[in-house]
Structure 1
Amino acid sequence: MIIKTSEFITSAVKRNQYPVDVRPEVAFVGRSNVGKSSIINALTNRKKLAKVSQTPGKTRLINFFLINDEMYLVDLPGYGYAKVSKKEKESWGKTIETYLIEREQLKKVVLLVDSRHKPTADDILMHEWIKHFGYKVIVIATKSDKLSNNEIGKSKKLIKETLKLGPEDEFYLFSSVKKNGKEELIDNIFGDLVEE
């Protein structure tokens, strides 16, 4: 699949602000500084589609991007950022939870983890949560350009073990800078949502 067009449609906090249509959706979720905006921009070939923030934890809204006029890429608020209040964290959690529980159009969730670090307790919880709700989950370890070949093997092993990924689970390493394997990734994330 080739991403020909991608456009920002709307930001939402509540359910009544979500787009009203039946196009399938893929949600991207991850820690605040995992590089979510960078990977969305890399996959869509748009430098500024998703705003890359200098301060992690800026995205407090759910952002809907229309891809090829056929499906939505949904950018969920980043979690686990230390410098926000407990109350704020709870409201983000609620925003994400409402979307995950009640969105029929949601077909799969892409969980982003940092390839340089062991997945956090928040990452593990998010992974279990997505699976609990019965969504297909694709795990992508970002910022892989920062690792040596030797470290890549160790990183893969650590992430798979920490998240308890089995052979049937989809797992990729990706660098938004180098973009190696981008086409394969796009096919695996969006390909089966397109009606032939």
Structure 2
Amino acid sequence: MVGASSSSSLLRSLNALADSKTCLSSSIPTLNTKMTQHLTERCCRFLKSASEVPRLYRRTNKDVPVRASAYMDNALRPLHQLLTDSSGLVTPSTAQEWLRVTLCDCTQRYFETISDVLSSVRKMEESLKRLKQARKGGATASAAGSNGGLTDDGKIRLQLALDVEYLGEQIQKMGLQPADISMFSPLTDLVKEARELGEQNQ
């Protein structure tokens, strides 16, 4: 009887363990989603700062940009931190998948922000050109790059291109490839075309 009782107890324990394992397994997709959503919000909080780039260059006589904006490091810090903090806690493949999903979501939102900024820059540029023509140069000459250098709008486009280029470099440092990130190629094309346009207008 004692042996039978012990066997029954062991079976109940095994069944309970199996139920717990099943419960945990079913929770993994939800936990993954919560993790990537949390990371996305933390990163995008800073990526939205791309909308402030025009203010930094328009009519400020700021030098031509040569490196990525500071907001990029702030935006990517949570992802680099994840790689450090998750070591030994989750499998490398799980951490990489969290990064991939987060970067896909972030790049989608970043693309929308950059697209809006470039559209606004284009409209402002056209307005300044019309104003310049109406005034025959006048006060808008400096904004239009009268000294033969890059225009304010050209600097804005160049800065955004440098930011996206830096993003691609950091993606690789995290162990991924830009091709793994769904919207990265369209984002690169967007800023490349804008940069070329800015160089043509200088």
TM-score normalized with structure 1 length: 0.28
Q: Which structure is higher in strand share? A: 1
Looking at secondary structure, tell me which structure has more helix per residue.
2
